[in-house]
Amino acid sequence: MLNLVYLLEFQARLYPQRTAIIFNDVKLLYGQLNAMANQFANGLRAMGVKPGEKVALMIPNIPYFPVAYYGTLKTGATVVPFNVLFKEREIAYHLNDSDSVALVVFDGFLDNAYKGFSHAEKCRTLIVATADPSASSPIKDDKVVTMGQLMYNQPLVFDTYQTGPNDTAVMMYTSGTTGAPKGAELTHANLMMNTVVSARLSGATEEDVLLGALPLFHSFGQVVMNAGFYAGGVVTMISRFSPGEALAIMERDNVTIFNGVPTMYWSLMTYPEAEKHDLKKIARNLKVCISGGAALPLEVLRGFEERFDVPILEGYGLSETSPSACFNVRDKVRKSGSIGVPLWGTEMKIVNPDTDEDLPPGEVGEVVIRGHQVMKGYYKRPEGTAKALRNGWFHTGDLGRIDKDGYFYIVDRLKEMVIRGGYNVYPREVEEYLSTHPKISMVAVKGVPDPKYGEEIKAYIVLKRGETMTEEEVIEFAKKGLASYKYPRIVEFRTSLPLSATGKILKRVLKD
């Protein structure tokens, strides 16, 4: 039998007085966190939540999240994390699609949550996590209770439900870039194995302090939290990332491990007031940084490492792979632009996206994965599951290649590849080159409809502070380093680019 919550319970049993979480002025010990999760589990059980049912969480990076997360797992129910920025329509869709019986929401997002909850027939209860635990429900409805009311007077112990390795622990919804969002069912074994492997990758121990800056509703954020607790370390949380707050917390709490997405590294590297913090102290404490979630531009990697004197290990994974699948390893050579090698227990290869035939080193094709971290399927979508997991491999929809030494490189999304006049153009390659220009801070490249070539290349450019450029200058620079069919003919300057909550550039929004 296996339940992901054991990684918390083990530390609470052996080291109850060790600090587990820091959030602003609040510190929770492992024993306290586990006891609160037990109270939450008892509250859910009293409310009628059964093993296998779904409990949705719409909570930012605050201590309520791990309490509800591990408390739900203790009952044998499945956690369904929601983006806290979801609107009424999105909340209703995800509640109905997941068949969630309860929604736990922080009161700062209650308005949209209640409206969405009202359109979900199977969702029996809305649980409100209030800033003041003793506060009564702000909404007078028999279906609405506060987290304080749910946990009040509940026992501090709970007999954890004995889930099996293949039982669903967490259901992560994909971003929906190619259709309606789908729920990827991640099992207790998926997440436990990925936690152990990820903790060993970063070298996390009980002496480490991990910065919890990634959204906990995202699989990357959860693996940071789980790996930190598995190692017996401290997770210091930021409710919403900003470079100034991140540097202040790194300095205050002596952070040793930082996990982030590329836009976080970019914002730290370019933050104009960084020198107000003790960067030498921060660099001295940091032993490793890890990047995932999107491709890390080489200029950002080099600039961050130069400024903070700490290595970044870039890796790769998806919601469907729990999420980590491939990473650079500390004691092996790091190759520029590479996502490294498959993690322990993981196999990856490159196949022809049309025939699924294996491709040799150097050729571009679809990245496919098999291993302990691959989801068991998409919830209520047998056809989508069969297509994604055909031939025993998970088909990622990402284009990549492998070199002669076994290092993998992501070229682009299969759906984002541009076909200009019959030639394949990979936007990431164009973005990488344009980002080397000293005046360019951030860039996104898309294909736009064109009557002559089918698609034309368009670049969206954010310039560095105080810099100016013309469209012609960008195009002339692109001509110098890119083949004639690859360089952008259209340039649009922006003050910012639309980002998801996890820091990915939302190219579909740019396209709209």
Domain boundary among 371, 388, 413: 413
Model confidence pLDDT, tens digit, residues 108-161: 999 999 999 999 999 999 999 998 888 888 898 999 999 999 999 999 999 999
> Residue 170 domain-assigned?
no
Task: Clarify whether residues 421 and 407 are in a common domain.
Answer: no
Give me the CATH number covering residue 72. 3.40.50.980
Instruction: Give phi and psi for 496, each to the nearest 5.
Output: -160, 165
Task: Clarify whether residues 121 and 252 are in a common domain.
Answer: no
Task: Clarify whether residues 107 and 135 are in a common domain.
Answer: yes
> Residue 172 domain-assigned?
no
At residue 506, the pLDDT reads 86
| Lookup result for tokens 């699609």 | 97
In 3D, which of 61, 8, 7 has the Cα closest to residue 35? 8
Domain that holds residue 484: 417-511
> Residue 217 domain-assigned?
yes
Structure tokens at 8: 């918390």
Task: Clarify whether residues 14 and 88 are in a common domain.
Answer: yes
Nearest 5 degrees, angle CA 276-CA 281-CA 284? 140
Task: Clarify whether residues 133 and 86 are in a common domain.
Answer: yes
Give pTM, 2 decimals.
0.88
Task: Clarify whether residues 264 and 350 are in a common domain.
Answer: yes
With a cut of 70, list the residues of the chain below it in pLDDT. 175-179, 511-512
**DSSP strands (E only) in 175-228:** 183-187, 209-212
At residue 177, the pLDDT reads 46
| Lookup result for tokens 């979508």 | 381
Nearest 5 degrees, angle CA 507-CA 510-CA 512? 110
Give me the CATH number covering residue 266. 3.40.50.12780
> Residue 173 domain-assigned?
no
Task: Clarify whether residues 313 and 451 are in a common domain.
Answer: no
In the three-class reduction of DSSP (H, G, I as helix; E, B as strand; rest coil), residue 492 is classed as strand
At residue 81, the pLDDT reads 98
Task: Clarify whether residues 244 and 383 are in a common domain.
Answer: yes
Task: Please count the structural domains in the chain.
Answer: 3
Task: Clarify whether residues 451 and 384 are in a common domain.
Answer: no
Q: How many C-beta neighbours within 10 Å does residue 294 have?
A: 18
> Residue 365 domain-assigned?
yes
Give me the CATH number covering residue 499. 3.30.300.30
Task: Clarify whether residues 383 and 426 are in a common domain.
Answer: no
| Residues whose CB is less than 8 angstroms from the CB of residue 355 and which lie 6 or more positions away in sequence, other chains included | none
Model confidence pLDDT, tens digit, residues 396-416: 999 999 999 999 999 988 888
Domain boundary among 370, 385, 413: 413
Task: Clarify whether residues 402 and 431 are in a common domain.
Answer: no
Task: Clarify whether residues 236 and 248 are in a common domain.
Answer: yes
User: Are 490 and 448 contacting, i.e. CB atoms less than 8 angstroms apart?
Assistant: yes
